[in-house]
Amino acid sequence: MRLTALILSLFLIAPSVKAAAVKKYAALTFDDGPHPVYTAKILKILYDNNVTATFFVVGENAERYPQLVKAEHDLGCEIGNHTYSHPHLAKTHIGKIEEEIMKTDGIIKDITGMTPKLFRPPEGFCTGQIEKELIKLEKTEVLWNVDTRDWAHTETDKIVKNIKSNVKNGSVILFHDYTSPPTHTVEALEIVVPYLLDSGFELVTVSELMARKADTGGLSSFFIG
Ligand SMILES: [Zn+2]
């Protein structure tokens, strides 16, 4: 009788064992903004879905539309440096590159109060010399491992497919605030953000993703420095 009671009590107090869902993380990133039309639409989608992202802003655009950079920051998004005038770094003197990065740092700091830690080179082009410069400026170079190809005027369904086929835990996804028309970034985002959330992804900033190295199986080639 006592044994039965013991077994019964064990059943009653035993916590229901439920396999914890494995959390996955990904970072949405947007280059080349802010843009007076599209950035606000992107921010609305992020806000509606309660997610954050990282914006690699161009200094001259940030200077022109500071209220949009402020809105990104206020939403909890991260602001990264994408140079001042988006030059091709292969054709730019290292002194000029440093000047572009520092000028953009100053603009972002004036708007948000924070100096960006992240840098993304235009078109992802970098050299050993530039990487040394980035270390000197205490910047982490961030590339990507999922290219939506929105920059190539890719149709909405193809952008969505590019993401669905390639996204995995720890992914950094490349979008652009704006590309020359036609641009399908906003339409694709409306589909893809709920899809990623339904698929168990938490959408975080790049710095948050880097801090979660242990949960994402390690991140390597797209973060340098
Ligand atoms: Zn760019």
Residue 17 located in a structural domain: no
Residue 77 falls inside a structural domain: yes
Give me ligand 1 centre to Cα 1, in Å: 75
For residue 5, name the pLDDT band (cuts at 50, 70, 90): low
What's the domain count of the chain? 1
Q: Which of 82, 176, 177, 184 is catalytic?
A: 176
CB-based burial label for 215 (10 Å; 0-12, 13-18, 19+):
middle
Distances, alpha carbon 130 to alpha carbons 54, 56, 95, 139, in Å: 22, 17, 10, 11
Distance separating alpha carbons of residues 156 and 190, to the nearest angstrom: 10
Q: How far apart are CA 210 and CA 87, in angstroms?
A: 27
**Taking 90 as the threshold, does the pLDDT of residue 6 lie above it?**
no
Residue 80 lies in a domain: yes
- Number of helices (H), then strands (E), belonging to the chain: the values are 9, 9
Which range (9-18, 35-44, 78-87, 180-189) has the least confidence? 9-18
Average pLDDT over every residue of 31-48:
97
Q: Give tens-digit pLDDT for 10-27.
A: 445 444 444 456 789 999
Residue 37 domain-assigned? yes
Active site residue 176: yes
In this prediction the pTM is: 0.88
Q: Is residue 9 part of a domain?
A: no
Q: What pLDDT does residue 54 have?
A: 98
In a domain, 5, yes or no: no
Is the model's pLDDT at 163 over the cut of 90?
yes
Q: Which of 83, 81, 91, 89 is nearest to 118 (CA)?
A: 81
CA–centroid distance, 59 to ligand 1, in Å, is 11
Q: What is the mean pLDDT of residues 65-83?
A: 98
Say what the pLDDT of residue 21 is: 64
On whether the CB atoms of residues 38 and 177 are closer than 8 A, the answer is yes
CA 195 to centroid of ligand 1, rounded, Å: 26
Domain that holds residue 86: 22-220
Determine which one of 31, 147, 150, 177 is catalytic.
31
Q: Is residue 130 part of a domain?
A: yes
Can 86 be counted among the known catalytic residues?
no
Q: What band does 1 get if pLDDT is binned at 50, 70 and 90?
A: very low
CATH number at residue 75: 3.20.20.370
Ligand 1 centre and the CA of 32: distance in Å?
A: 5
* In the predicted structure, residue 8 carries a pLDDT above the cut 60: no
Q: Is residue 84 in a domain?
A: yes
